Amino acid sequence: MNIRPVREEDVKDLMRLEDGSIEHPWEEEELAKLAQDPNKSGFAAEEGGRVTGYIGFSYILDEAEIGNVVVDKEYRRRGIGEALIEAAKGYLREQGIARVYLEVAEDNDAAKNLYSKAGFTSFNIRKDYYGKGRNAILMVCEI
Ligand SMILES: CC(C)(COP(=O)(O)OP(=O)(O)OC[C@H]1O[C@@H](n2cnc3c(N)ncnc32)[C@H](O)[C@@H]1OP(=O)(O)O)[C@@H](O)C(=O)NCCC(=O)NCCS
């Protein structure tokens, strides 16, 4: 597995990864910003030249927020999600970021377990955030 910064030419691959895996996929322009916007960044995971996962995040002052983490269905449970989060944390630490936030659907056990394993703890709930009866859990990690 190779983890490297997201590049503009990755956008189509990132859209393919989101398709069917994310309830509210990011638009093409939103994904392109990961490689363009000075307050956003992302990492892609590659296996033999194929993009198998990505993480996108934004940061300002000393705080960051992880927007999306997606791993190709065929490549899950091999540590790619964890490696992407570690790459993001390492990069953000170098930028002087102190803490990273994210929100995750209460019923998304895979993502909740991944974030817990990566050192995130929950600190609040947003009721009905993803629609009626579907709460978001807010998590934070001090880095
Ligand atoms: C969540 C997701 C990114 C995990 O990626 P992954 O590469 O499979 O995760 P990893 O292999 O690094 O797993 C790390 C840990 O996460 C947890 N985990 C991952 N998948 C899980 C699952 N299906 N069920 C329960 N726990 C899971 C486990 O604790 C795992 O550690 P372990 O394998 O030692 O038990 C992937 O399932 C995915 O793309 N889901 C759809 C998109 C999504 O919901 N993204 C998050 C919200 S934006």
pLDDT tens-digit series, residues 1-60: 999 999 999 999 999 999 989 888 899 999 999 999 999 999 999 999 999 999 999 999
> Domains in the chain: how many in total?
1
Measured distance CA(47)–CA(32) in Å, rounded? 22
Distance 107 CA to ligand 1 centre (A): 13
Question: What are the E-state strand segments in 17-120?
Answer: 40-47, 50-60, 63-71, 99-105
Atom 15 of ligand 1, nearest CA residue: 114
Atom 9 of ligand 1, nearest CA residue: 81
pLDDT, mean of residues 97-111 = 97
21: exposed, middle or buried (Cβ count in 10 Å: 0-12, 13-18, 19+)? middle
Residue 119 pLDDT exceeds 90: yes
Range of the domain at 42: 2-142
Distance 78 CA to ligand 1 centre (A): 9
pLDDT, mean of residues 103-127 = 97
What pLDDT, on a 0 to 100 scale, did the predictor assign at position 20?
A: 82
Q: Which of 101, 35, 38 is nearest to 64 (CA)?
A: 101
pTM of the predicted structure, to 2 decimals: 0.97
User: Which residues does ligand 1 sit against, CB inside 6 Å?
Assistant: 21-22, 68-71, 76-82, 104, 108-111, 113-114, 117
Residue 125 pLDDT exceeds 90: yes
Q: Point out the ligand 1 atom lying closest to the alpha carbon of residue 71.
A: 39
Q: What CATH number is given to the structural domain containing 105?
A: 3.40.630.30
Strand 50-60 vs strand 63-71: parallel, antiparallel, or unpaired? antiparallel
Q: Point out the ligand 1 atom lying closest to the alpha carbon of residue 67.
A: 48
